């Protein structure tokens, strides 16, 4: 096995190196090239044009407010929830597990759309309802920076929660207890002891959410653009997708600053999480943090948590399903129920472009995730089991793309694909997807590999199992859960992929999320909702399918 | 089956430095004996075991199991572990968590595609042997440490290997279970009449379990012999020190007689067990284990090797007193019966049994 892996490592470095570095290199070259047709001709004119644009300063300010605001909302909520879950006797703790899984359930673009349907100023359902009550002045406008921040903050809540919750539960309760013994109250202890000790985790969560919201395209496009609020991602999009001539040189020049910001933030994040280890306060095995009795606040706080989960998971699906059935936007009531029909569903299912998008997304989801997981399998094997300098390089390369905003990667790949026959084929999307989402497949697989102690393989060899026999009977069965969760993550990401696709998708290679964005731009909410529900259905079906197969595979042995 | 290791060396590169894991190891492991590789961590004992089993390949030398050369650097022979027909018990047991007890034990037979009936018969026999009959359907994850250890043993034995290898198989068990399992293992292996190679850093385990011991240090074998030879007649200070506790008193050989060899030391002349090859004038170290220092009751003086000293410290450890006695400038550790009437600070007379004073040539 040693000999094959020595040949494997350089091959994988070449593949992963291409996938991660190609868009970056092409972005840099493209930003100095000017036009797609004039690749390689050096010019600074696109930088000058991009950064002297009088609107650019305003875009930067909006971007900073948007990303910081979402980070504060997401991290604040995450801290609140993590504290309740790990440190108090709140009932219904299973809900917290569900909250950390939401990103797999509701695609971001649909979540954003559902809030537009509820709160847009002209016919948002809540606003219509308020108007019926005669509270005209209370009408809320989602098309605002505040609206963007709140929706993005809710969307990024799970990721902040996943960073904060483990730190919170690993917290050494003795630190708090000694503060209590010294006479401080619960609240004072929280502010003076708990939060400062958790500072690295909190900063890490903030940084991660900033990176995510900087890369976010769904919320800025669905909520920001109608209100004429542009951030970097939508600014880049408008340079290539609106107006008369798409300017990929300028898009690349703007993209460079988004890329630089992301990389800086991720470096900061890595440093923070490494520094966090200094603060690690887990004392010993089998230790449980003491639980704070919420007493009378138990059920009210539980209600808040239920409300948050409802808003995060149930509400968007309900709003979309309802909208897909009514002829035009109206408040729920007898009139609405009488007018309900499957008309939008029928239209969507007869619409050739929507059907094509459905088919493409399904192909990309299943085929792309399968290819992606095969690549992840070998990369994870080399990272965990080979452990050489080359495998360290491979590891850094493969997790690098995690920090790149999708739309910027898209622009970089565009510069590349235009020079190849892959341009405007589904393969372009496939390559782009795998390049951007490789870490999603890698993470579960590397942790699965880590859990397979070397002795388990070695003992199979000593027992007379050859390398292939060992792979089939020991390594693969033990990896099945990791493979399944990697595949599920990749497949669901691919089915809903938006930010890369808006750049790379061409007529003939439409995908679901792009089609939904088109419906949103045209205000075709009924069709959008029907297609959106279909999208959620496909994602869920893939999850169920993969879990079922994995369950059967791991039981067999 | 005999195992012959000839001139085996193994090097690692770690951060630019070359680490010698094994240096010119020459060793013959006799057949049907329990042979132990003993040494502190990092001495190369596990590397040697892994070279024998085929999980590592040495840089030089030759390894033969019975008549088959399984590794030869010169002839370019490397038989992979799955074709060496050995059994091994790993330190972590390496019980496969996704299989039940039956499949874990049946694995070596399934790997060589034996008929189903045969597999069932042999697995049942192996499980009966380790007293785990009835556990076939138990998932591997639902076993205690001791049970996992037995499953690992059953798996190593089921295919009737020529040789069975153990890599610190008891180190993950708690003290009491370790002692029980050690006795059991000794019984199993004696019953089986099989060549066993056992790696451990625990000297008591090595002494209690082995027919022969090789003590390793820095990738080399420093001494080889039966447990009694290693314990009583070690030639080297490292070995004597590593196996149990010992006092080392430096001196020079004063006289080499028929019955005893006398060594002059800082505390006076010491009569020692006869040492062949020791000539007057040579530097030598006297090794005396704490349990062979006797305390003489008042008034009973006389005889060989009697010294006077002050009890510097005394610790009651249940079945004995352990403490230090200062004789002149020399501090000696001793161990006496817990009923002895000795107090800290007291001056006492002590005596070394000459038969248990061994000489280490420097």
Q: Residue written as tokens 């019984």?
A: B187
CA distances to A22, A66, A249, A425, A505 from A37, in Å: 18, 35, 10, 19, 19
Q: What pLDDT sits at residue A454?
A: 85
User: How far is B67 from chain A, CA to nearest CA, in Å?
Assistant: 19
Beta carbons of B94 and A458 less than 8 Å apart:
yes
The nearest CA of chain B is from the CA of A462 a distance in Å of 5
Domains of chain A, each with CATH number or no CATH:
1-29+342-557 (1.10.3720.10), 56-341 (1.10.3720.10)
pLDDT value for A4: 47
Interface test with A, best of B90, B113, B123, B164 (most A CBs within 10 A): B90
Alpha carbons within 13 angstroms on the beta-carbon side of residue B23 total: 11
Domains of chain B: 3-240 (3.40.50.300), 245-361 (2.40.50.100)
Residues of A in contact with B155 (CB under 8 A): 459, 463
Picking from B273, B276, B279, the residue whose alpha carbon sits closest to that of residue B254 is: B279
Q: What is the DSSP string of A264-304?
A: HHHHHHHHHHHHHGGG----STT-----B--GGGHHHHHHH
Tell me if A354 sits within 8 A of A348, measured CB to CB: yes
Q: Which residue has the tokens 């003590």?
A: B215
Q: How high is the ipTM of this complex?
A: 0.79
Q: What is the pLDDT along chain B (362 residues), one digit of tens a residue?
A: 899 999 999 988 777 788 888 999 999 999 988 999 998 888 899 999 999 999 989 999 999 998 899 999 989 899 999 999 899 999 888 889 888 999 999 999 999 899 999 999 999 999 998 888 889 899 888 888 888 988 999 999 898 888 999 998 888 778 888 888 888 888 888 888 889 999 998 888 888 889 999 999 889 998 899 988 888 777 777 777 777 788 889 889 888 877 888 889 888 888 888 877 778 888 888 888 888 888 887 666 667 888 888 998 888 888 888 889 998 888 899 888 877 778 888 888 888 888 888 888 76
pLDDT recorded at residue A115 = 92
* Strand ranges across the sheet with B260-265: B268-273, B260-265, B247-256, B283-288, B357-361
Strand bridging mode B330-337 / B87-89: unpaired
Chain A residues with CB under 8 Å of B159 CB are 463-464
Span between the terminal Cα atoms of chain B, in Å: 37
Spatial CB neighbours of A537, under 8 Å, sequence gap ≥ 6:
none
Q: Please, is A501 exposed, middle or buried when counting C-beta atoms within 10 Å of its C-beta (0-12, 13-18, 19+)?
A: buried
End-to-end CA, chain A = 23
Question: Pairing state of beta strands B330-337 and B320-327?
Answer: antiparallel
pLDDT of the residue at B348: 86
Burial of A456 (0-12, 13-18, 19+ CB in 10 A): buried
Residue ranges in chain A modelled with pLDDT below 50:
1-5, 278-287, 556-557
**Which two tokens mark B183?**
């006795």
CB A265 within 8 A of CB A212: no
A478 touches chain B (CB under 8 A): yes
Contact A321, A529 (CB under 8 A): yes
Q: Please report the pLDDT score of residue A355 as a whole number.
A: 94
Residues B11 and B19 sit within 8 Å (Cβ to Cβ): yes
Q: Which residues of A touch B80 (CB under 8 A)?
A: 461, 466
Shortest CB distance from B96 goes to which of A466, A469, A474?
Answer: A474
List the one residue out of A487, A483, A484, A491 whose CA is nearest residue A363: A491
Q: Over the stretch B66-108, which tens digit does the pLDDT of each residue have? A: 889 999 998 989 999 999 989 999 988 888 988 899 999 999 9
Point out which residues pair with B88 in neighbouring strands: B165
Chain B positions with Cβ closer than 8 Å to A = 53-55, 80-88, 90-94, 96-99, 103, 107-108, 111-112, 152, 155, 159
| Closest of A354, A224, A321 to residue A526, by C-alpha | A321
Q: Report the share of chain A in percent with pLDDT over 90.
A: 39
pLDDT of residue A325: 92
Q: What strands lie across the sheet with B330-337, from one edge to the other?
A: B293-296, B347-352, B306-316, B320-327, B330-337
**H helices present in A423-473, as ranges:** 426-451, 454-462, 467-470
* Cα(B242)–Cα(B45) distance, integer angstroms: 15
User: What sign results for the dihedral spanned by CA atoms B198, B181, B244, B194?
Assistant: negative
For residue B67, the SS3 value is: coil
Cα separation, A54 vs B325, in Å, equals 90
pLDDT (0 to 100) of residue A1: 39
User: Treating both helix axes as pointing N-terminal to C-terminal, what angle do B116-129 and B101-111 enclose, rounded to 10 degrees?
Assistant: 130
**Among the listed residues B295, B352, B304, the one whose alpha carbon sits nearest the alpha carbon of residue B322:** B295
pLDDT for position A282: 38
Q: How far apart are CA B152 and CA B130, in angstroms?
A: 10
What are the tokens at B27? 């060793």
User: What does the pLDDT look like over B4-40, one tens digit per residue?
Assistant: 999 999 988 777 788 888 999 999 999 988 999 998 8
The reply to whether residue A462 touches residue B99, judged by beta carbons under 8 angstroms, is no
Kindly state whether A392 is in contact with chain B, defined as any CB-CB distance less than 8 angstroms: no
**Are the beta carbons of A462 and B87 separated by less than 8 Å?**
yes
A36-44's contacts with Cβ under 8 Å and 24+ in sequence apart are A36/A248, A36/A249, A36/A414, A36/A415, A36/A418, A39/A415, A39/A418, A39/A419, A43/A249
């Amino acid at each position: 096995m040693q000999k094959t892996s020595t040949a494997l490592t350089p091959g994988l470095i070449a593949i992963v190196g291409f996938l991660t570095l190609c868009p970056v290199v092409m972005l840099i070259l493209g930003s100095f090239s000017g036009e797609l047709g004039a690749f390689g001709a050096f010019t600074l004119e696109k930088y000058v044009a991009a950064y002297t644009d009088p609107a650019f300063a305003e875009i930067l300010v909006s971007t900073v407010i948007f990303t910081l605001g979402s980070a504060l909302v997401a991290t604040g909520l995450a801290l609140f929830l993590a504290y309740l879950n790990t440190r108090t006797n709140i009932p219904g703790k299973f809900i917290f597990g569900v909250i950390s899984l939401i990103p797999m359930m509701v695609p971001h673009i649909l979540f954003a759309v559902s809030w537009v349907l509820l709160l847009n100023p002209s016919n948002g359902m809540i606003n219509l309802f308020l108007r019926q009550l005669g509270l005209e002045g209370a009408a809320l406008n989602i098309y605002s920076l505040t609206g963007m921040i709140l929706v993005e903050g809710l969307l990024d809540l799970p990721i902040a929660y996943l960073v904060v919750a483990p730190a919170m539960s690993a917290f050494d309760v003795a630190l708090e207890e000694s503060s209590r013994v010294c006479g401080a109250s619960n609240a004072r202890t929280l502010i003076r002891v708990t939060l400062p000790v958790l500072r690295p985790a909190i900063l890490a969560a903030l940084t991660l959410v900033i990176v995510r919201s900087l890369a976010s395209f769904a919320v800025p496009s669905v909520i920001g653009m109608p209100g004429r609020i542009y951030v970097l991602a939508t600014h880049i999009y408008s340079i290539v997708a609106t107006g008369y001539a798409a300017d990929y040189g300028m898009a690349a020049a703007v993209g460079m600053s988004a890329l630089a910001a992301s990389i800086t933030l991720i470096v900061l994040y890595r440093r923070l999480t490494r520094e966090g280890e200094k603060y690690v306060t887990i004392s010993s095995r089998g230790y449980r943090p003491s639980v704070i009795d919420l007493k009378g606040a138990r059920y009210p706080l539980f209600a808040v948590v239920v409300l948050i989960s409802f808003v995060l998971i149930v509400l968007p699906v309900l709003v979309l399903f309802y909208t897909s059935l009514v002829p035009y936007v109206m408040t729920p009531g007898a009139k609405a129920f009488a007018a309900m029909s499957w008309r939008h569903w029928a239209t969507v299912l007869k619409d050739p472009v929507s059907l094509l998008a459905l088919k493409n997304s399904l192909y990309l989801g299943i085929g792309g995730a399968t290819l992606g997981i095969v690549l992840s399998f070998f990369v994870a094997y080399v990272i965990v089991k080979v452990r050489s300098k080359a495998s360290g390089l491979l590891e850094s390369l493969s997790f690098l793309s995690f920090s790149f905003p999708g739309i910027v990667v898209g622009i970089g790949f565009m510069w590349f694909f235009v020079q190849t026959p892959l341009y405007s084929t589904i393969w372009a999307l496939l390559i782009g997807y795998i390049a951007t989402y490789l870490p999603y497949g890698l993470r579960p697989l590397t942790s699965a590999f880590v859990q397979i102690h070397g002795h388990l393989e070695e003992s199979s060899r000593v027992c007379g199992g050859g390398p292939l026999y060992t792979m089939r009977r020991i390594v693969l069965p033990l990896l099945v859960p990791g493979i399944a969760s990697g595949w599920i993550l990749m497949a669901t990401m691919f089915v809903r992929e938006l930010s890369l696709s808006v750049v790379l998708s061409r007529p003939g290679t439409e995908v679901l999320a792009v089609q939904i964005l088109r419906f949103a731009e045209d205000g075709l909410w009924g069709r959008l909702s029907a297609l959106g529900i279909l999208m959620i259905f496909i994602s869920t079906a893939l999850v169920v399918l993969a879990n079922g197969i994995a369950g059967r595979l791991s039981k067999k042995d | 089956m005999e195992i012959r290791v000839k001139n085996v060396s193994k090097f690692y590169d770690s951060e630019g430095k070359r680490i010698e894991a094994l240096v010119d190891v020459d060793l013959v492991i006799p057949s049907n004996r329990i042979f132990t590789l003993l040494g502190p961590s990092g001495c190369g004992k596990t590397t040697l075991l892994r070279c024998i089993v085929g999980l590592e390949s040495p840089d030089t030398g030759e390894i033969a199991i019975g008549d088959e050369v399984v590794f030869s650097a010169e002839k370019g022979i490397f038989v992979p572990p799955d074709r060496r027909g050995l059994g091994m018990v790993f330190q972590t047991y390496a019980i496969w968590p996704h299989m039940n007890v039956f499949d874990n034990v049946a694995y070596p037979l399934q790997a060589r595609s034996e008929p189903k009936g045969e597999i069932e018969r042999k697995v049942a026999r192996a499980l009966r042997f380790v007293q785990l009959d009835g556990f076939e359907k138990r998932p591997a994850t639902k076993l205690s440490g001791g049970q996992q250890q037995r499953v690992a043993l059953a798996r190593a034995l089921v295919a009737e290997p020529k040789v069975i290898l153990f890599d610190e198989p008891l180190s993950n068990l708690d003290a009491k279970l370790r002692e029980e399992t050690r006795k059991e293992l000794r019984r199993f292996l004696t019953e089986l009449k099989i060549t066993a190679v056992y790696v451990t850093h625990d000297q008591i385990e090595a002494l209690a379990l082995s027919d022969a011991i090789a003590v390793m240090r820095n990738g080399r074998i420093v001494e080889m012999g039966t447990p009694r030879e290693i314990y009583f007649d070690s030639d080297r200070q490292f070995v004597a020190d590593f196996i149990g506790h010992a006092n080392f008193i430096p001196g020079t050989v004063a006289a080499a007689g028929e019955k005893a060899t006398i060594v002059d030391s800082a505390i006076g002349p010491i009569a020692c067990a006869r040492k062949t090859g020791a000539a007057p004038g040579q530097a030598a170290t006297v090794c005396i284990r704490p349990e062979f220092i006797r305390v003489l009751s008042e008034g009973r003086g006389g005889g060989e090797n009697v010294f006077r000293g002050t009890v510097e410290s005394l610790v009651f450890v249940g079945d004995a007193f352990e403490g230090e006695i200062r004789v002149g400038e020399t501090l000696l550790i001793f161990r006496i019966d817990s009923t002895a009437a000795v107090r800290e600070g007291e001056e006492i007379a002590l005596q070394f049994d000459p038969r248990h004073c061994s000489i280490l040539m420097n």
